[in-house]
Structure 1
Amino acid sequence: MDQDKNNSQQFQSKWNEQYTWEVFDPCTVITIGVFDNCQLQGDNRGERIQELGSVAKLHYSHPLSCHQIEILRHQATQIVSTRLSRSEPPLRKEVVEYMLDVGSNLWSVRRSKANHYRIAGILSAIVKVIKWFNQIRTWNSPFITVLVHILFLAFVCFPWMILSTIFLYLFLIGTWNYRGRPRHPPHMDVKLSQADTALNDELDEEFDTFPTSQKQIDILKMRYDRLRAIASRVQTVLGDMATQGERFYNLLSWRDPRATALFLILCLIASVLLYITPPKVVVTVMGFYTMRHPRFRDQRPSYPMNFLRRLPARTDSLL
């Protein structure tokens, strides 16, 4: 790794100087450090040399808002692009905006798809665990299900083993993944960026300015309809989440007097039972009930789920 530390002794430093290094490794990293030697205003040899761009504690105690960061980013882009446009050879504004991620917060179908698949990749492990537990519940492999029951009883009897087992399992996974560790620096992934499947109109919309400079009304209508279709899905998901939250809230709001009274009676009974019953017994009963054999399982929705679905929500009050 080559390091070039430029100790500037004047205000007007030249940043367009050309340097040449002999590269023997394609993974060579060049680190450029810029320092202020505190000697610009006089002979201050006793002061400590400060790194330019070091972050003070004030940035953590009073951080800038997202709007302020965007304003600073826009101003920095204008200053840098104006300065570099006068260099030889001139550097276009689009390059500066790309390097400073100016359009990272703007709408893009391609970037939205990429973020969707990124989240799906992160949640894939949780989905696998849920599918595996569903196979345990349905007794697809009785031998593995019995082993899970035994392991569950061991955790109930010795609860201090839960965290140690989890961390040991994570350690074993990390050790096993050491063989397939990345051996090359990260690079631009076309498939991850969804650039190989992006349509021409999607790319044209992404590279469009804000406000738009598109003059064709038909293209704008098509983009607007596509955006409405995507927003409708998001709106549906948000509406479902709000409905479920309102149903939980209405358990205690007496919006449905019979449902609230029944829920309060069940809470009182559960409070008494949980007070007189040891916690290990409660956890054991709940675990065995969840993993019971399909012969003792009803295909219809459970009573708590059916009760929750019948609770009122504020969807009828919406226009």
Structure 2
Amino acid sequence: MGGGEIMLAAWKGSQTDEAFAGALHAGAHHGLSPAGVIATQTKTYYAPRLCYLRCHVIAARDLVGSGRSSSMVNAFATVQLGAQVWRTRALPSLGPTWDQDFWLVAAWPFEEPLVVTVLDDVAPGRHEALGRLVFPKGAVKTQQFDKKKFAPPPSAWFDLERPRYSDGDDGDGDGRYAGDSRGGGGWRHEFRSKIQLRVYYDAAYHVLDELAAYASDFQPSARALRSPPVGVLELAVLRASGLPSSTTTTKPPTNGGGGGRRRSTTVNAYCVAKYGQKWVRTRTVPDTASPIWQEQFTFDVFDPCTVLTVAVFDNHQLLADAAGAAADAPLGKVRIRVSTLAPGRTYEHPYALFVLRPGGLLQRCGELHLAVRFTPTSSSWPSAAAGKMMAMYLRPQLPNQHFARPIPPHLAPVLRRRAVDVVVARLSRAEPPLRPEAVHYLLRDPAAHPNPAAPEQKAYSKRRSLAACARLRDVLAPAAAFAHWYVGVRDWDRPAVTALVLLLFLTLTWNPRAILPTFFLYLFGVGAWNFRRRPTRPAQMEHHADGVDAIMLGEELDAGWPASGTTPPDVVEWRYRQLRGTATKVQMLVVHAAGIGERVHALLSWRDRRATLVVLVAVAALAVVFYAVPFRAVVAVAGVYELRPPVMRRKGPSPLFNFFRRLPTNADVML
């Protein structure tokens, strides 16, 4: 190549400067198309500021039906904002009163119009438009007052535009309206038909686009209600190792030799990190399983109880043109909770990557080396103002509007899914775009299906069920350890310990005021003792797939019902038998719990007359004893009796247990 020019730019700073995002890797352009070169660049994205649009459809009046049945209509209204559509119930009236409140997710600067349409449910699958109302940009006001005594704006009556029919009539004949694809024309203004609405943007909420369990932001939509940042989170994406390839490409022979074209596996890895409204993507390092990025990013922290998410992807946009490129394949992700990071300390550790492949293959995808550091602002650390940081733990995570006027629980997952769709649509329009599969992978609900197009109701995973059981087992582990210790004390395995426990019990019995101080002092001692074993690094991602069959793992990726034909019949039968086995265990547990409850009811129900008579005599005697003897004496005697030496115990179950087991249940009358 002869001639040409080269333009260079130099600056003094670090990789956190904004100018570094426009830098290009010198070896990343060899053999790539211009579209592929763009896909290798570092890029910083900002998600749109989301806000809830509240539309309260109250009533309509003076509706005029279309066709010959204009005297009676089965009217309903639809509320549409972009791809979001809500529908009221249908009422047979010319002046229906719906009184239904709808929530929609809007993105600043609120360019999409809000369209409210009133239709007549003429027949199944056939609707005739009775009127339409369009709110253009700027027509809906924003409400951002975060107070418990907040009063929503008053409702108002709006004129509906009636459709202009193709044959020129007023809608009283059989003409077709202009909004229908069957005819031409437009909408005409009609003062007779009106609709009562209350429409406003409620910016006092925070629009969740990820689960609250690992959310990275809880700030309200209104900027005036947001708090200043409390620190800065620094992330350094260093390198990765052992990344597997998700594609196989065909390359020409090297050095001009013969032998035809050769097939090779390539990994074009890049990382995407998300914290708050800021998304960052590293450059793509092509054709290597051990990429080295060495890129740094900073994020403003408004709440330390938030989570940073980093994911690794295999870039498939370099293998084909943009029109025919496949979706980027995920190679695993890492979540780091900011509150677990010590202030000012740098954590540089490798994190294992796992991903579930189609077919039920849980694949280990190497390791990702990250360095993170959380630095509180100078105004909040380490001066006396550090109490502000501690006081944040006493405040609610979500804005006050979520508690003053809670979002209906059944709408929360729907609104979150629609917020994700809005974020995906906005980030996919950036240049270069952030791939939709990358956004879905970082924002995905673990309980939802991996495929964004699959309904969430079809998402079931035995692996996640076992993971939930393992989490519950870890939560109950201290109680199980205490029960094991108590059995040892009760059986006098170590007489000195049992004697001390008995002495402490008698002391607390005769001095009840010392019970709570002793309990809190014990908790303080346990916390101080655990300081030696405090975590020294952020937690690793866990898959909980040990002992789970590959067919059950594949169920997470099965987006269709068994009747859809996407799953082989033998696999469906195997899953059915596994489900029956699990259901049998649950059934046995329910039967056992029901039997215990029925025995408790049988104590005083006179179903077994002898047993109920014994119970009545016993409770009468206990009433006399507890009235005549001081309560502390009764508790002391009961404790000494419970901790008596083994030589004074009888072998076998206790009399109370034997009596309870002999009580009747309904199991003997069950068919």
Please tell me the TM-score bracket, short chain as reference: 0.7 to 0.9
Distance 1:216 1:178, change over 3 A: same
Equivalence map 1:65-214=2 (5 Å): 65-81=408-424, 88-89=432-433, 91-93=435-437, 96=440, 99-101=443-445, 103-104=447-448, 106-189=459-542, 193-209=543-559, 211=561, 214=566
Distance of aligned partners of 1:304 and 1:316 in 2 relative to their CA distance in 1, 3 Å threshold: same
1:317 is aligned to 2:669: yes
CA contact (8 A) 2:492 2:498 kept: yes
Question: How far has the Cα of 1:210 moved from its partner?
Answer: 5.1
Match of 1:38 in 2: none
* Rounded Cα–Cα distance in structure 2 between residues aligned with 1:176 and 1:229: 43
The equivalent residue for 2:619 is: 267
CA distance in 2, matches of 1:18, 1:12: 24
In structure 1, the residue matched to 2:406 is 63
User: 2:109 aligned with 1:11, yes or no?
Assistant: yes
Measure the CA separation in 2 of the matches of 1:233 and 1:67.
Answer: 30
Q: For residue 237 of structure 1, report the CA deviation from its aligned partner.
A: 0.8
The correspondence of residues 14-25 of structure 1 with structure 2, limited to 5 A, is 22-23=296-297
Identity of aligned residues (%): 34
- Are 2:575 and 1:223 aligned? yes
Name the CA distance, whole Å, in 2 between partners of 1:116 and 1:240: 19
TM-score by structure 1 length?
A: 0.78
d(CA) in 2 for partners of 1:241, 1:315: 12
Structure-to-structure mapping, 1:287-298, within 5 angstroms? 287-298=639-650
Distance in 1 (CA, whole Å) between partners of 2:658 and 2:48 is: 72
User: Alpha carbons of 1:150 and 1:56: their partners in 2 closer, same or farther (altered >3 Å)?
Assistant: closer
Shift of the alpha carbon at 1:19?
8.9
Question: How far has the Cα of 1:80 moved from its partner?
Answer: 4.2
Query: Residue by residue, what CA displacement relative to the aligned partner does 1:30-79 show, whole Å, maximum 9, x if unpaired?
Result: 99xxxxxxxxxxxxxxxxxxxxxx95545325534543223323433444
Q: Indicate whether 1:251 and 2:593 are aligned.
A: no
- Over alpha carbons, which structure has the higher Rg? 2
- Aligned-pair distance for 1:316? 2.7
CA pair 82-30 structure 1, distance change in 2 beyond 3 A: farther
Q: Deviations over 1:257-279 (max 9, x none)?
A: 22112211111111011100111
For 2:588 and 2:279, the matched residues in 1 are separated by 56
Give 5+ residue unaligned stretches, structure 2: 1-15, 17-43, 50-107, 112-276, 283-294, 299-345, 347-370, 377-396, 449-455
1-structure distance, mates of 2:497, 2:640? 14
Asked if the contact 2:602/2:663 (under 8 Å) is kept, the reply is yes
The AA in structure 2 aligned to 1:303 is P
Letter in 2 for 1:91: R
Contact 2:463–2:545 (CA under 8 A) maintained in structure 1:
yes
Q: Describe how 1:292-311 pairs up with structure 2 within 5 A.
A: 292-311=644-663
Q: Is the 8 A contact 2:47 2:279 kept in 1?
A: no
Cα gap change, 1:57/1:211 in structure 2, threshold over 3 Å: closer, same or farther? Answer: farther
8 Å Cα contact 2:595-2:667 kept in structure 1? yes
Q: 1:17, 1:126 → 2: CA distance?
A: 42
Structure-2 residue corresponding to 1:242: 594
Compared CA separation, residues 65 and 253, structure 1 to 2 (3 A) = farther
For the structure 1 residues 136 and 201, does the alpha-carbon distance in structure 2 shift closer, same or farther, using more than 3 Å as the test? same
- Shift of the 101–91 alpha-carbon distance from structure 1 to 2, 3 Å rule, reads same
Secondary structure of 2:533's partner? coil
Deviation at 1:202, TM superposition (A): 2.0
CA distance in 2, matches of 1:272, 1:281: 14
Structure-2 change in CA distance of 1:11 and 1:81 (3 Å):
closer
Q: Structure 1's 314 and 66: CA in aligned 2 closer, same or farther, altered over 3 A?
A: farther
In 2, Cα distance between equivalents of 1:17 and 1:269:
71
Q: Kindly tell me: are residues 94 and 266 of structure 1, through their superposed partners in 2, closer, same or farther at Cα, counting changes over 3 Å?
A: farther
User: What count of residue pairs does the alignment treat as equivalent?
Assistant: 290
Q: Which region of structure 1 is more displaced relative to structure 2, 102-111 or 228-237?
A: 102-111
With over 3 angstroms needed to count, the CA separation of the structure-2 counterparts of 1:6 and 1:241, relative to structure 1, is closer
Q: Does 1:27 align with 2:380?
A: no
Structure 1 residues 208 and 266: alpha-carbon distance in aligned structure 2, compared to 1, 3 A threshold? same
Gap regions ≥5 residues in structure 1: 32-53
Matches of 2:441 and 2:624, distance apart in 1: 64
Could you say what secondary structure the match of 1:160 adopts? Answer: helix
User: Secondary structure at 1:254's aligned position in 2?
Assistant: coil
> Hey, what's the Cα distance between the residues in 1 that align with 2:587 and 2:657?
23
SS, match of residue 27 in structure 1: strand
Aligned residue type for 1:71: V
Q: Bigger relative contact order, structure 1 or 2, given CA contacts below 8 A and separation 6+?
A: 1
* 2:443 alignment partner AA: M
User: Is the contact made by 1:80 and 1:96 (CA closer than 8 Å) also made in structure 2?
Assistant: no
Counterpart CA distance in 2 for 1:93 and 1:296 is 69
Q: What letter matches 1:209 in structure 2?
A: A
Rounded to whole Å, the distance in 2 between the matches of 1:149 and 1:250 is: 35
CA distance in structure 1 between the aligned counterparts of 2:446 and 2:501, rounded to whole angstroms = 51
Contact 1:97 1:103 in 2 (8 A): no
Describe the superposition over 1:170-215 as per-residue Cα deviations: whole angstroms up to 9, x where unpaired.
11111122232223233313xxx31355432122012222545633
Q: CA deviation at 1:296?
A: 1.4
